[in-house]
Structure 1
Amino acid sequence: MSTPPFGLLLDVDGPIASPVSRTVAVGSIGGDLAAMANAGIPVIFNTGRSDAFIAEQVVPVLRAAGLQSSTPVHTVSEKGAVWAEVTPQGLGEISVDEELRLPVALGEEVRHLVAERFSELMFFDETKRAMVSVEQHVEVASEDYLAAQKEFDAAIGALLEKRGLDEVRIDPTIISTDVEHQRLGKDLGAARSLSLLAEQGIRPQAWYTMGDSRSDYKMADWLHEQGHTVSHVDVRPADGIPETEYPVLVSESGAIHDEAGAEFLSRWAASL
Structure 2
Amino acid sequence: MTELGLLFDVDGPIASPVTRTIAIPSIVDDLVALAAAGVPIAFITGRSDAFIAEQVVAPLRAAGLDDALAQPGARMFGVFEKGAVWASITADGMGAVEVDHTVALPADVVAGVRELVATRFADHMFFDETKRAMISVEQRTDVSSADYLAAQRDFDAAAFDILAAHGVGVRLGDRSIANPCGDVPFRLDPTIISTDIESVVLDKDRGAERALEYFAALGPLPRLWRSVGDSRSDYKMADHLHQAGYEVAHVDVRPADGILDRPYRVITEGDLIHDEAGAAFLRHWVRTLLG
- The two structures have a TM-score, normalised by structure 1, of 0.96
Which secondary structure does the structure 2 equivalent of 1:35 belong to? helix
Which secondary structure does the structure 2 equivalent of 1:48 belong to? coil
CA distance in 2, matches of 1:55, 1:104: 25
Question: Are 1:198 and 2:196 matched, yes or no?
Answer: no
Are 2:103 and 2:199, in contact at CA under 8 Å, matched by a contact in 1?
yes
CA distance in 2, matches of 1:133, 1:90: 25
Question: Are 1:262 and 2:271 matched, yes or no?
Answer: no
Q: Percent identity?
A: 57
The aligned runs of 1:105-254 (5 Å cut-off) are 105-166=108-169, 167-252=185-270, 254=271
CA distance in 2, matches of 1:36, 1:9: 13
CA distance in 1, matches of 2:54, 2:91: 12
Are 1:7 and 1:208, in contact at CA under 8 Å, matched by a contact in 2?
yes
- Residue type at the aligned position of 1:18: S
Are 1:234 and 1:248, in contact at CA under 8 Å, matched by a contact in 2?
yes
Which secondary structure does the structure 1 equivalent of 2:77 belong to? strand
Report what 2:17 is aligned to.
19
Unmatched 5+ stretches in structure 1:
none
- Residue type at the aligned position of 1:256: I
Between the two proteins, the alignment pairs up a number of residues equal to: 269
- Residue type at the aligned position of 2:147: D
Deviates most, 99-108 or 121-130: 99-108
CA distance in 2, matches of 1:87, 1:58: 13
CA distance in 2, matches of 1:234, 1:108: 36
CA distance in 2, matches of 1:212, 1:46: 12
CA distance in 1, matches of 2:88, 2:226: 20
CA distance in 1, matches of 2:156, 2:286: 40
CA distance in 2, matches of 1:228, 1:66: 30
Deviates most, 103-112 or 83-92: 83-92
- The two structures have a TM-score, normalised by structure 2, of 0.90
CA distance in 1, matches of 2:93, 2:154: 38
Q: CA deviation at 1:26?
A: 4.3
Are 1:62 and 1:88, in contact at CA under 8 Å, matched by a contact in 2?
no
The aligned runs of 1:71-86 (5 Å cut-off) are 71-86=74-89
Tell me how large the CA RMSD over aligned residues is: 1.1
Choose from 91, 94, 103 the match for 1:91: 94
Are 1:4 and 1:203, in contact at CA under 8 Å, matched by a contact in 2?
no
Which secondary structure does the structure 1 equivalent of 2:88 belong to? strand
CA distance in 1, matches of 2:219, 2:50: 27
Report what 2:174 is aligned to.
none
CA distance in 1, matches of 2:234, 2:128: 21
Are 2:13 and 2:278, in contact at CA under 8 Å, matched by a contact in 1?
yes
- Residue type at the aligned position of 1:5: E
- Residues 21-54 of structure 1: per-residue CA shift (max 9 Å, x gap): 0000141101110001011101100000000011
CA distance in 1, matches of 2:269, 2:24: 20
